[in-house]
């Protein structure tokens, strides 16, 4: 009886082993079949047309070094209302000046303080912006050194709206005309900005910019100053020729206007239409040490602030144009505050370097 039981147990174990082997064999065969089917249906994935394949294992930064001259821009919030302020604002019969607490200095007081004798102020009431006074003082000092003439008088500078209206009314009374061709209406005169002045002389109490005085018109751009109302631009400025009336705009802009024979109306229109930020920028190099680029930015009229793209790590200036936008001047080389001795005077037949700036970098809002 014991022997039969032992044989039965052995038989059961053998049967179990055989069963397990069969199950394992079926599993292996199934796995092989699945792998074969999968392999048969597998296709090679083509290379992406958007990825450049190269055997070179060096990084892109090693292959293409970063341009050290590339300008990186970021956006700053700038008050939209400031489009009516700045050295490049256009004030004329179509563009009113609204007045913004002008910072002014007395010409006569500054002359006395600095003990200058090369030019004079009309009286104690003559005032201009500090940046304009400094430019005038440097220019007239150099004029004296060149010509030994010291009779230039800064006769008129800043005017209040009331003073301007009185002058306008007096001119109408004198000419009998309904509108004046010689005096701007109150609110439409550059004299109200502090960036304009009139010259005369203490010898004749007249000034025509001729003879020895022509040096001033030839060199005033070197100090950021322009003759505002040229004789051949009266149809555009709508003001008669005034050889005595000068306006401060800054050296790069004065250079470009003089070189290309543009009045302020033409220059601001050129920047608006041809050199917006999103497109080509105007590059101006007026001597070996100073180079800048200029572009126009539209204001955000729906907001109190406008995002203006400006360069990171570069000096820049923002001026409104007094109507529909901002003019940004970026100093690529130099600071635009002085002029190296120029090799030649600006002429109409010379050409500025005009280039483009890489604008691919995202602007930080």
Q: Which residues pair with 307 in a beta bridge?
A: 77
CATH 3.40.50.300 fits 77-93+262-365, yes or no: no
Q: Who contacts 158 (Cβ-Cβ below 8 Å, separation ≥6)?
A: 102, 104, 126, 127, 128, 191, 192, 193, 194
pLDDT at 364: 38
The token duo for 61 is 């930064």
Q: How many residues does the chain have?
A: 365
Specify the residue for token string 């220059």.
267
pLDDT at 102: 85
pLDDT at 55: 42
Give 10-residue mean pLDDT values along the chain (365 residues): 51 64 66 53 37 39 63 94 97 92 94 97 95 98 98 96 95 92 91 98 97 98 98 94 98 98 98 97 95 97 97 95 97 87 50 40 37
Q: What is the largest CA-CA distance in the chain?
A: 154
CB atoms within 10 A of CB 36: 10
Which run of H or E residues covers position 316? strand 315-320
Q: Residue 72 and residue 363: Cα distance in Å, rounded? A: 9
Give buried/exposed letters for 150-181 (b at 16+ CB in 10 A, else e).
bbbbbbbbbbebebbbebbeebeeeeeeeebe
pLDDT at 119: 98
Instruction: Supply the residues annotated as catalytic.
Output: 242
The token duo for 210 is 């001729």
Specify the residue for token string 């005096």.
183
Secondary-structure percent of the chain, ordered helix, strand, coil, rounded to 5: 35, 20, 45
Which run of H or E residues covers position 12? helix 2-40
Q: Is residue 292 within 8 Å of 336, Cβ to Cβ?
A: yes
Q: Who contacts 76 (Cβ-Cβ below 8 Å, separation ≥6)?
A: 307, 308, 310
Specify the residue for token string 């102020």.
121
Q: Is 33 helix (H, G, I), strand (E, B) or coil?
A: helix
The token duo for 227 is 């003759």
Q: Who contacts 202 (Cβ-Cβ below 8 Å, separation ≥6)?
A: 120, 151, 153
Q: Who contacts 40 (Cβ-Cβ below 8 Å, separation ≥6)?
A: none
Reported pTM: 0.77
pLDDT at 160: 94
pLDDT at 62: 55
């Amino acid at each position: 009886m014991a022997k039969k039981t032992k044989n039965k147990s052995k038989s059961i174990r053998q049967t179990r082993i055989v069963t397990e082997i069969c199950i394992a064999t079926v599993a292996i065969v199934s796995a092989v079949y699945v792998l074969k089917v999968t392999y048969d249906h597998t296709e090679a994935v083509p290379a992406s047309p958007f990825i450049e394949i190269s055997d070179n294992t060096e990084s892109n930064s090693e292959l293409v070094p970063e341009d050290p001259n590339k300008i990186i821009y970021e956006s700053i919030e700038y008050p939209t209302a400031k489009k009516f302020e700045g050295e490049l604002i256009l004030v004329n019969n179509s563009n009113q000046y609204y007045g913004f607490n002008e910072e002014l200095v007395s010409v006569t007081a500054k002359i006395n303080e600095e003990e200058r004798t090369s030019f004079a102020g009309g009286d104690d009431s003559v005032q201009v912006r500090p940046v304009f006074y400094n430019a005038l003082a440097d220019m007239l000092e150099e004029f004296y050194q060149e010509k030994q003439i010291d009779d230039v008088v800064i006769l008129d500078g800043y005017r209040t709206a009331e003073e301007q209206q009185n002058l306008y009314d007096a001119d109408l009374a004198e000419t009998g005309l309904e509108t004046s061709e010689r005096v701007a209406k109150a609110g439409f005169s550059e004299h109200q900005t502090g960036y304009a002045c009139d010259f005369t002389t203490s010898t004749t109490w007249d000034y025509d910019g001729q003879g020895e005085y022509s040096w001033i018109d030839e060199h005033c751009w070197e100090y950021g100053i322009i003759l505002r109302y040229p004789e051949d631009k009266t149809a555009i400025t709508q003001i008669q020729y005034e050889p005595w009336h000068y306006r401060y705009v800054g050296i790069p802009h004065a250079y470009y206007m003089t070189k290309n024979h543009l009045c302020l109306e033409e220059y601001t229109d050129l920047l608006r239409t041809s050199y917006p930020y999103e497109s080509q920028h105007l590059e101006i190099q007026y001597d070996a040490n100073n180079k800048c680029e200029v572009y126009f930015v539209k204001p955000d009229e729906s907001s109190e602030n406008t995002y203006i793209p400006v360069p990171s790590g570069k000096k820049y200036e923002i001026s409104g144009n007094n109507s529909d936008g901002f003019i940004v001047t970026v100093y690529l080389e130099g600071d635009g505050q002085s002029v190296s001795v120029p090799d030649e005077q600006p002429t109409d037949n010379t050409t500025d370097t005009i280039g483009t700036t890489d604008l691919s970098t995202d602007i930080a809002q």
